[in-house]
């Protein structure tokens, strides 16, 4: 019997599809922009279980774009705040949280029950993204990520038997976390043609300041595409294109 809150999914999804989502477990590393909105979309679609990880807390500057960021959640751990928000949408949702984030000590536990992995790790924590990808790959798990680029987005999907994240960004595959400490994901890896307002000079200054300008629309577009691709794959209806191919959408050049 389909719960009333999910009946409007019928016609787009079958009862079998909804049951499949109810029995699926998605793990999300990073609960700010991409991770937060992805979690909310999945919750509204009827996913049964989520594991959320984020060591950070919300601050006022997050309110312009992050799902669970409000003046009421400033100072709260992002995974905890997002969990509370999602339970107001579906009180029966099964949620685990890793409030220390994902690290070398807990990554295997984080992935233990996963059916699919969302990489929404902060841009400036790239070594942890590589660590997550390596662990997911070793377990045969698909992993998907998105980036907001102003008024657009790029979504990247990784097949555990295909190209690795390291290969995609052109870095050696055997670097340690320490050796990767000063490496970030190259902007060119997200889009073949960046918007005109994202210049090499600006990128350099953003990297130096360790902050990147971003707005809500790109952070909402990414999860919409990401969750669509992931859910269709989970339901066996359409497999995503994997890197080096990507999905790119940009409303301003």
Taking the domains of the chain in order of start, what are their residue ranges?
A: 4-250
Quickly list H helices, the chain.
15-22, 34-45, 78-89, 107-110, 126-138, 165-169, 200-209, 216-234
Q: Which residue has the tokens 């269709």?
A: 232
Tell me whether residue 206 is exposed, middle or buried, using C-beta atoms within 10 angstroms of its C-beta: 0 to 12, 13 to 18, 19 or more: middle
178: Cα separation from own chain's centroid? 24
DSSP state letter for 12: T
Q: CATH number of the domain at 4-250, out of 1.10.580.10, 3.50.50.60, 3.40.50.720, 3.40.50.2300?
A: 3.40.50.720
Per-10-residue mean pLDDT of the chain, 253 residues long, equals 92 96 98 96 98 97 94 98 98 98 97 97 90 97 92 94 92 86 71 69 70 83 96 98 92 71
pLDDT at position 1 = 77
Q: What is the pLDDT of residue 46?
A: 97
How far apart, in whole angstroms, are the C-alpha atoms of residue 147 and residue 190? 7
pLDDT at 84: 98
């Amino acid at each position: 019997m389909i719960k009333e809150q999910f009946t409007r999914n019928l016609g787009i999804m079958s009862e079998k599809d909804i049951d499949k989502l109810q029995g699926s477990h998605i793990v999300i590393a990073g609960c700010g922009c991409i991770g937060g909105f992805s979690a909310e979309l999945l919750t509204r679609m009827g996913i049964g279980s989520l594991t959320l990880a984020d060591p950070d807390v919300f601050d006022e500057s997050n309110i312009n774009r992050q799902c669970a960021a409000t003046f009421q959640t400033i100072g709260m751990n992002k995974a905890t705040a997002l969990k509370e928000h999602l339970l107001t949408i579906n009180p029966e949702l099964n949620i685990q949280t890793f409030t220390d984030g994902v690290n070398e000590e807990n990554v295997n536990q984080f992935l233990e029950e996963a059916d699919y992995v969302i990489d929404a790790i902060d841009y400036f924590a790239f070594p942890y993204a590589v660590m997550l990808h390596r662990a997911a790959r070793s377990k045969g798990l698909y992993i998907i990520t998105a980036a907001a680029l102003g008024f657009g987005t790029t979504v990247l999907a990784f097949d555990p038997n295909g190209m690795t994240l390291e290969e995609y960004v052109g870095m050696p595959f055997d670097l340690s976390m320490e050796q990767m400490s000063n490496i970030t994901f190259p902007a060119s890896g997200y889009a073949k043609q960046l918007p005109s307002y994202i210049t090499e000079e600006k990128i350099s200054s953003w990297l130096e300041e360790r902050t990147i300008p971003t707005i809500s629309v790109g952070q909402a577009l990414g999860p919409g595409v990401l969750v669509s691709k992931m859910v269709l794959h989970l339901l066996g209806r359409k497999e995503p294109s994997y890197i080096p191919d990507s999905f790119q959408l940009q409303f301003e050049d």
